[in-house]
Chains A and B, each alone.
Chain A
Amino acid sequence: MEFKDYYKVMGVARDATEAQIKQAYRRLARKYHPDVSKEKDAEARFKELGEAYEVLRNPEKRAAYDQLGSGPRPGEDWRPPPDWGAGFEFTEAGPGGPQADYSDFFETLFGAARGGAGRRGGRRAAGRGEDHHARVMLDLDASLEGGSRTLTLRMPELDAEGHLVMKERTLAVQVPKGILPGQTIRLAGQGSRAGESPPGDLYIEVEFQPHPFYRLEGRDLYLDLPVTPSEAALGATVKCPTPAGAVDLKIPAGARAGTKLRLRERGMPSRPPGDLYAVPVITLPEQINEQARAAFRTLAEAQPFNPRAHLGV
């Protein structure tokens, strides 16, 4: 089992005062809170932090933990001492921390002291199972097409002895077309069961991975649409992808970089639908051949101008 150095996790000395521990927790919690932080491992770090704080802020748990010393040498496996827990009484009814799943290390040391009774979480309405909440990362296409996706969720569950365990659960879900990031899919009856009573609901909050070329802004989609210099100068009708398939888009003559061409109701297929904005990006071929060079030289002579005049140079 992996030994957890809770002092190291919290970045405090082994003789830190209660006030110092609290301060360290607040500072790190702001940094790694999953609702606030965009650090990649924020959720894992926050869990570890909550667990460390749970032990170090509680004088009884801290004293018991301190008895273990500073853990095994690097690479060595850690086992709890055979007389672990004797003489200590953990009075606090279950973890009050922000998460439900603790490490094996924590569970081995303090898990037994925590029955099902002290369980944190949403209150249970009489005669109804508990609601569950989860967050998933989807590809944008799932929402654009309203496709079905197989989701793997980790859910806390109580085992037969009342211990909290994490169970993996795989669900095949029809993603509602046009769902936006931050919105929630409700699956009625997919929460916990409480005996014979009706089960709770499952709420899945949706986020999207970045799409290869669409950017999402509210319900609207933005697309950088490469155009040739002559298409931009002379105007042209070009193919433009939209979530509902390619369309012909008219580029007005003299289209400037950054112009937004709106395709009404071609954005997210929500209710009401969003718009799609194609932003022309003037693009040169990878290699300019001699004939084109000559043409560009002629062009430069035909209409010399200073596009940087507004920059004062």
Chain B
Amino acid sequence: MASSAERFLAGEIFEESTSLSVADLCRICGIDERQIEELLEEGVISVTAIETSERRFSGAAVRRTRIAVRLQRDLGINLPGAALALDLLEEIEQLRRRRPV
């Protein structure tokens, strides 16, 4: 007899369970390798490990990359500006969680 729990899709926490290659990150975020290099240079994302001489990223890079891409596209700002906005947004988010209004 099937238990009801089996009908639920089991998700995994992407940020913790994942190791992504440059190609994975490009595919998931819809960007190219050149943009990955720019994101790395600007410190928006960072390499979490090197496996067999290939750079790997954690799933957390996906969210930061996607927001940086959206901010650039929608607000007409350049990558350093998007990187700054991203850092400030995270700081605001932390402060807000500490003391919800």
In the assembled complex, A183 has its CB within 8 A of some CB on chain B: yes
Stretch at the interface among A72-80, A209-217, A226-234: A209-217
Let me know if B97 and A174 touch, CB within 8 A: no
Question: Given A30-B75, A216-B97, are A121 and B12 neighbors across the interface (CB < 8 Å)?
Answer: no
Chain A residues with Cβ under 8 A from B76's Cβ? Answer: 26
- Are A33 and B13 closer than 8 Å at their CB atoms? no
What residues on A are CB-neighbors of B55 within 8 Å?
Answer: none
Q: Residues of A within 8 Å of B, CB-based: how many?
A: 45
A148 to B74, CA, bound (A): 35
> Out of B5, B18, B100, which one reaches A215, CB within 8 Å?
B100
Contact residues in A for B59 (Cβ distance below 8 Å)? 183-184, 186
Residues of chain A from 50 to 101 with CB closer than 8 A to chain B in the complex: 50, 98
B70 close to A185 (CB less than 8 A): no
On chain A, the residues within 8 Å of B40 by CB distance are none
Known: A182-B63, A217-B94, A217-B97. A174 touches B71 (CB 8 A): no
Residues of chain A lying within 8 A (CB to CB) of residue B74: 29, 33, 46, 50, 98
B41 beta carbon closer than 8 Å to chain A: no
CB of A183, distance to nearest CB on chain B (Å): 5
Nearest CB in chain A: distance from B94 CB, A: 7
A304 at the interface (CB under 8 A from B): no
Q: What 1/0 mask marks residues of chain B from 50 to 78 whose CB sits below 8 Å from any chain A CB?
A: 00000000011011001100110111100
The reply to whether the CB of A131 lies closer than 8 angstroms to some CB of chain B is yes
Q: Indicate whether A133 sits within 8 Å of B66 (C-beta atoms), given known contacts A172-B8, A217-B94.
A: yes
Q: Are B67 and A35 in contact, with the CB atoms below 8 A? A: yes
Q: Which residue of A lies closest to B86 (CB)?
A: A35
Q: Which residues of A contact B28 (CB under 8 A)?
A: 122, 131, 201, 203
In this assembly, does A187 line the interface, its C-beta being within 8 Å of a C-beta of chain B? yes
Are A125 and B27 in contact, with the CB atoms below 8 A?
yes
Within 8 A of A (CB), among B2-45: 5, 7-18, 27-30
Interface pairs A-B: 5 shortest CB-CB: A122-B30, A185-B11, A184-B14, A186-B14, A174-B8
List, sorted by A's number, 8 A–B pairs whose CB atoms are closer than 8 Å.
A36-B71, A122-B27, A172-B8, A185-B14, A216-B97, A217-B94, A217-B97, A217-B98
A-B contacts besides A186-B17, A210-B100, 10 pairs, CB < 8 Å: A38-B96, A131-B28, A174-B9, A182-B93, A184-B59, A184-B63, A186-B59, A203-B14, A217-B94, A218-B94
